[in-house]
A and B are shown apart, each in its own frame.
Chain A
Amino acid sequence: MNRTKVLAPLWVWLGLFVLLPVLIVAALSFSTAVEAVPPFTPLLQQPDPANYALLTSDTYYLDAFLKSLLIASVSSACCLAIGYPMALAIARAPERWRSLLLLLVMLPFWTGFLLRITAWIGLLRDDGWINLAFGWVGLGPFKLLYTDLAMYIGITYAYLPFMILPLYARLSRRDPALEEAAADLGATPWTVFRTVTWPLSVPGVAAGLALVFIPAVGEYVIPELLGGPSAQTVGRALWNEFFSNRDWPMASALATALLIVLLVPMVLLRTRE
C-alpha cells in the first residue's frame, strides 16, 4: 500500500509525459497529411497504414535507418575504446584525485551543447586549428568538416561522458584483490584484464553502450552541423518530413518506427536476463 503511494507520482509523471505523447505520435502516424491547421486528418477516424507501407518500401527511409544504426554503432564503439581506459584510470587513481577527475569529465556540460558543436566547426574547418597544426609539420590541409569523420568526432566527443560515468561507477567498485589473485596465479597484466577486469565490468559496458547508442541513433544536430550531405540519418529525415514537407504523419511514423527499432532489442535483452 505504502509502496503504491510512493510510486504514484512517478506513474502519473510517466503516464502524462511519456506514455501519452508516445500514444499521440503513434495515432498521428496513422493519419494523412493535409493543407490545413493542424496539417493532418483527425486522429483515429480513418486509421491508414500508408505511411508505414511507404516506410518499408522506399529505400530512402530504409537507408536512413541503416545509416543511423551504423553511425550509432561506430560512435558507441569509439566512445567505449576511449572511455574504458579513462574510466579505469580514474577508478585506479588515488582516492583524493578521483572526484576532481570526474568533475573534469563532466565539465563540458557546463557550456551549451550547440556552442560546443559549433566550436568543432572552428577546429575542423579547412583553415581551422587542426589543419593549421597539420600545416606546421608540412601536411594537409585536409578536408575534415562536412565529412563522416567530423560527424563521428562530434558524436564521440558529445557522448563520451555518458560512457565514462556508468563505466566508472562499475569499475570503482571492483575488488583489487581479484586482480592480484589473477596475477598471483600466473596471469600477465593483459590476461588479468581479459579474464577478470573486463568480464566483471560488462554490466557497466552495457549501460554505457545503451546510454550512447540510443540517443546517437536519433541524433540530428551533429550530422547536420558537422556531417556531409551523404549522412542521411533518421534524425535528418524526420526533420525534413516535419519542417520541410509539413508531413507530420510521416514524421510520426518515422519516430514510432525508431522507437520500435530501439525498444524491441532492449526488451528481448531484459527478458533473457
Chain B
Amino acid sequence: MADVSIEDLTVRYGPVTALDGLHLTIGSGELFVLLGGSGSGKTTLLRTLGGFIEPASGRILLGGRDITGLPPHRRPVNTTFQSYALFPHMTVADNVAFGLRRQGASRAEITERVAELLELVRLGDFARRKPDALSGGQRQRVALARALAPRPRLLLLDEPLSALDRGLREQTRQELIRIQQQTGTTFVMVTHDQDEALAMATRIGLLHNGRLAQVGTPSELYERPASRYVAGFMGNDNVLPARALAPGQLELEGVGPIQADVDVPATPFWVAIRPERLRLVREAARAPNTAAGTVLTAAYFGDSADYAIRLDIGATLQLVQPLSAGFGSGLLAPGSAITVAFPPDALTILAE
C-alpha cells in the first residue's frame, strides 16, 4: 500500500539542480532509508518532504492527498533533526508535549500521551529534566518521542545516529527498529552509512547526483547492484570490465575466462564480485575458474582478514576471508603466492 508517492520531483538551488525528476513510492509502515554521499540530494529530499524546501516542480502525495504546497506546520509529517533541535528552555515533558499542544489536545490527553511516549523511549524518569542535563543518546530519544507524539503519518529522521558514539549507535539502531515496528509509523531516514542502511531498512533508495541510482531491499542492493556506482557505494570493490565468450562463459579483463551462472550480454559489460565471495585455494592454477596471484597487503580483523591480491595476469582484487575455518586459518603474509577461485554464482552483471 503506497503511503508516500513522490512524482517527478525537481528541486533547484539557483542554477544547481539538487533533485532531478524523482519518482518514488514508499509503502505504509516501511522503514525506508535514503542513502547517499554528501551532495547526493538525500537531505534535500527529506527537507522537501518536511515542507522546508519548495520544489520547482512535481508532487508529493501522502496517503493519496497532495501535500506539495502545504507549509511544515500543516503537514502530518514530523522530523527528528540531526542536531535534535530540542527546545533548551523546556523540560523533556514540555518538549514532547509541544506538538500535542499545537493540536489543541486536552491537558489530560497530553499528560497521558507524554507519559506513554517517554515510556516508549525509556525516559520515564527524565520528564522534568532540561535537555542540557541529558546525554547525547537520551536527547536523541527525546527528539524521537517529541516527533512521534502528535501521531504523524510520516516520520522523517535526519542522520539520527551520526552524533552518537559507536557502541551507543548499535544500541540506538535496534531501539529505532523496535519503536518503528511498535508504532507502525512510516519512517523515512537519511544516512550516509551503508552498514546502517543495510541493518535497518525495509528498502533503500540510493541517491546519486539528485537521482535515484537504485531502489530495493538491502539484499537487492548488496547482491544485485544495478550499476558500477551502486556496487562501489555498497562496498563492492571488485568491478571489472568483461565480454562474452560463449553462453555461460565470459572473459574477465585481467583474470581470464570464467564460467558464470548468469545470462551473458552480447555487448561488453561490467562484472561485480563481492570481496567475501571470492575464495582462496591451495590448488595450482589451471583448475577451472581460478587464477594465480600474490598477496599485496593483508589486514587482520580477528575473525577475518582483508587482502589485496594481484593476479599474475594483471587484475588487483579485494578479498575478505574468514580466519576461523578452512584454508588460511593463519594470516597470509604479503608476498605469499596464492590462487583465487571464482565461484560461478559470485558474479553480478552490471547494466552500466
Contacts and interface: CB of A to CB of B under 8 A. Distances in A.
Contacts of A200: 88-89
A184 B149 CA distance: 12
Interface in B77-91: 77-79, 81, 83, 85-89
Given A186-B103, A186-B150, A187-B102, A181 B87 contact: yes
B99 interface: yes
Interface stretch (A51-59, A163-171, A172-180, A239-247): A172-180
A185 B98 contact: yes
B72 to A, nearest CB: 4
A195 B88 CA distance: 12
B248 interface: no
Contacts of B178: none
Contacts of A175: 83, 85
B156 to A, nearest CB: 9
Nearest to A179: B85
Given A177-B81, A195-B98, A184 B87 contact: no
Contact of B150 (A183, A185, A191): A185
Determine the interface band of chain A, counting residues with CB < 8 A from chain B. Answer: 10 to 19
B52 interface: yes
Nearest to B83: A177
Interface in B35-94: 50-52, 71-74, 77-79, 81, 83, 85-89
Contacts of A118: none
B290 to A, nearest CB: 56
A9 interface: no
Nearest to B50: A184
For B73, B81, B88, the residue with the greatest tally of chain A CB atoms inside 10 Å of its CB is B73
B102 A185 contact: yes
Contacts of A178: 85, 87-88
A185 B143 CA distance: 11
Interface in A143-198: 175, 177-178, 180-188, 191, 195-196
Contacts of B50: 184
B310 interface: no
Interface string B164-192: 00000000000000000000000000000
A186 B85 contact: no
Interface string A196-229: 1001100000000000000000000000000000
Contacts of B52: 180
A183 B98 contact: no
B153 interface: no
Interface in A9-62: none
A185 B81 contact: no
A182 B72 CA distance: 9
A185 B51 CA distance: 12
B146 interface: yes
Contact of B99 (A177, A186, A199): A186
B71 A183 contact: yes
Interface string A67-111: 000000000000000000000000000000000000000000000
Contacts of A196: 87
B78 A185 contact: yes
A182 B98 CA distance: 8
Contacts of B147: 184-185
Given A199-B89, A200-B88, A200-B89, A184 B78 contact: yes
Nearest to A200: B89
B102 A186 contact: yes
B73 A183 contact: yes
A178 B89 CA distance: 11
B79 A184 contact: yes
Contact of A188 (B73, B79, B81, B146): B73
Interface in B234-281: none
A40 B72 CA distance: 71
Contacts of A185: 73, 78, 98-99, 102, 146-147, 150
A183 to B, nearest CB: 4
Contact of B85 (A180, A191, A195, A199): A180
7 residue pairs, one from A and one from B, having the closest CB atoms: A186-B102, A185-B99, A177-B85, A181-B85, A183-B72, A183-B73, A184-B79
Interface of A: 175, 177-178, 180-188, 191, 195-196, 199-200
Given A180-B85, A184-B50, 17 more contacts: A178-B88, A180-B79, A181-B79, A181-B85, A181-B86, A184-B72, A184-B73, A184-B147, A185-B99, A185-B102, A185-B146, A186-B73, A186-B74, A186-B99, A186-B103, A187-B102, A200-B88
